[in-house]
Amino acid sequence: MIVSQKIPQQLMMIRGLGLSLLLLVGWDFAIVLSYKVMHWSWVGSQSLPLASYGVAIGIVVSLRNSSAYARWWEARTLWGAIVNKSRTFARQVVTTMSPKANATAAEQAEAAAEQRQLVLYQVAYVHALSQQLRGRDPWAAVAHLLPDENPAELAREKNLALTLQCRMSAMLIAARDRGWLNQWEWQTIDSSMAGLMDAQGGAERIKNTPMPKQFDFFPMLFVEIYCLMLPVGLVGVLGWFTPLGSTLVGFMFLALMKIGNDLEDPFENTIFDVPVTAIATTVEINLRQLLGETELPSPEQPIRGVLW
């Protein structure tokens, strides 16, 4: 996600339009030269309803961009839910999971170790999910959190985040059976885990369900046709200044189309992503503090104006 307000970082948002703009300028100059130098008056027509076409295309592009932004914002909302549920889960484990008052020192130490392991599993879950959604190797991000696990076994998992949740659930059931959690406490923690699964499912739905291709093809087709019509309708009025006016208007529509393209897939490991790495690191900091740790990872910082 681009967070810098500096001009170089803002220009990153429009990269990729260079060839389209070059072709647009070339077309504009071709129309002007044909009209002004070769005196082909038939290439210009002031009767084209450019204003009506522009309004109609603007509405279509706006609707498409609204749908694309809704996908991006839903992705961010789902990750907000993951943050909240992760904190809730860790708080519940740390404050409610404990052996009976007459437990031995060894059992108390074992319960404390289980609490720590569950919280670290939750940290690993968040990191694993962030990498899975971006199509990257999740094990590389969580190996330092699970030093006692079998790397080969977990590296084979197709959905490592789900596997970690299953292991956490098994640990909680075992804690309930040992009397470290009563039925109500276990159900409350399980409800938090169910909320995490719901958020994960929503994020995976966005990742695996692209925008309908019609939303990409037809608006872009309409914009391209409109850009071709612009110099034809403007050359009779603007003359040699046609490329200036036509290219500027065309650039506005092309930029709007690119905004929608950038936002519609929020987990593609691009500069326009939801910053899931930074969010996962924030969760790790918060949960490690709940465990009483003081050596915490540093918050993610923007890299060349981009927060990952």
At 147-158, the pLDDT tens digits run: 877 777 777 888
| Predicted confidence (pLDDT) at residue 235 exceeds the cutoff of 90 | no
Q: What is the DSSP string of 83-151?
A: HHHHHHHHHHHHHH----TT--HHHHHHHHHHHHHHHHHHHHHHHHHHHHHTTS-SHHHHGGG-TTS-H
Specify the range with the lowest mean pLDDT, choosing from 91-95, 126-130, 249-253. Answer: 249-253
Q: pLDDT digit string (tens) for 160-219?
A: 999 999 999 999 999 999 889 999 999 999 999 999 999 999 999 999 998 888 888 898
| Predicted confidence (pLDDT) at residue 289 exceeds the cutoff of 70 | yes
| Predicted confidence (pLDDT) at residue 92 exceeds the cutoff of 90 | yes
Of the candidates 245, 264, 217, 215, which has an alpha carbon nearest to the alpha carbon of residue 54?
245
For residue 13, give the DSSP letter: G
Which tops the pLDDT comparison, 18 or 112? 112
pTM over 0.95: no
